[in-house]
Structure 1
Amino acid sequence: MTSRERLLDPDHPHILSTRNSLAVAYQAAGRTGEAIRLHEATLRRREQTLGAEHPDALASGHNLAAAYEVAGRLDEAIQLYESTLAKCERLFEPGHTLIRSVRSKLERILSGSQ
């Protein structure tokens, strides 16, 4: 247990942000299985505590989809990119960074150029 976890509720936004960052670090280190497990848990908790359309939950969905993509779980990646993109398009202006990133990754998978 980290010092943050001893001081804050496990669903506190700072804890969830730290877990998301750790999952990204796992992925960068090639520890994709651990990254996916932590991304899945973080997404679930962010959706439960913040709501499925909260920007942090959408960022978690984007990160998990990217991890699925790296792991070759393309059907899951596509499904999550599509649902994340739909939510982002409802919430953000068309040029928002997250919209551009999700759309770009989804188009790359669908075109088969990975």
Structure 2
Amino acid sequence: LPSELLEQDRWKEAEELEVQVMEASKRVLGAEHPHTLTSMNNLASTYWNQGRWKEAEELEAQMMDTSKRVLGAEHPGTLTSMDNLAFTAFYK
């Protein structure tokens, strides 16, 4: 559902849903679960698309640190997190 809202430029509504998903994932699956990290990435992407670089960067840094610790430094998810953080740092 959030992707449908994004296509309609309904950023605030998408953000609210993504925050709910992220919080529920943390509560049910745990802060280090891959699905929780994915929900954090989705929220960071929404921030990024709105030009909210600082908020995106903070989430991406959390994701990268957690991915390194849980998945390992060379895991594809960790590498993607590193790439996203670098991309955000370049644009801010």
Question: TM-score, with normalisation over the residues of structure 2?
Answer: 0.87
Distance apart, 1:102 and its partner CA: 1.9
Structure 1 gaps of 5+ residues are 1-21
Question: Identity over aligned residues, as a percent?
Answer: 27
Query: Which stretches of structure 1, 4 residues or more, deviate above 3 A after TM superposition?
Result: none
Distance apart, 1:68 and its partner CA: 0.7
Structure 2 gaps of 5+ residues are none
Query: How many residues matched?
Result: 92
Q: How far apart in 1 are the matches of 2:51 and 2:63?
A: 19
Asked which structure has the greater RCO (Cα within 8 Å, sep 6+), the reply is 2
Q: Select 1:75's aligned residue among 40, 49, 54.
A: 54
Aligned CA-pair RMSD: 1.7
Distance apart, 1:96 and its partner CA: 2.7
Which deviates the most, 80-89 or 22-31? Answer: 22-31
In structure 1, the partner of 2:36 is 57
Aligned positions of 1:1-114 closer than 5 A: 22-112=1-91
What's the CA shift string for 1:4-34, capped at 9, x where partnerless?
Answer: xxxxxxxxxxxxxxxxxx2233224432222
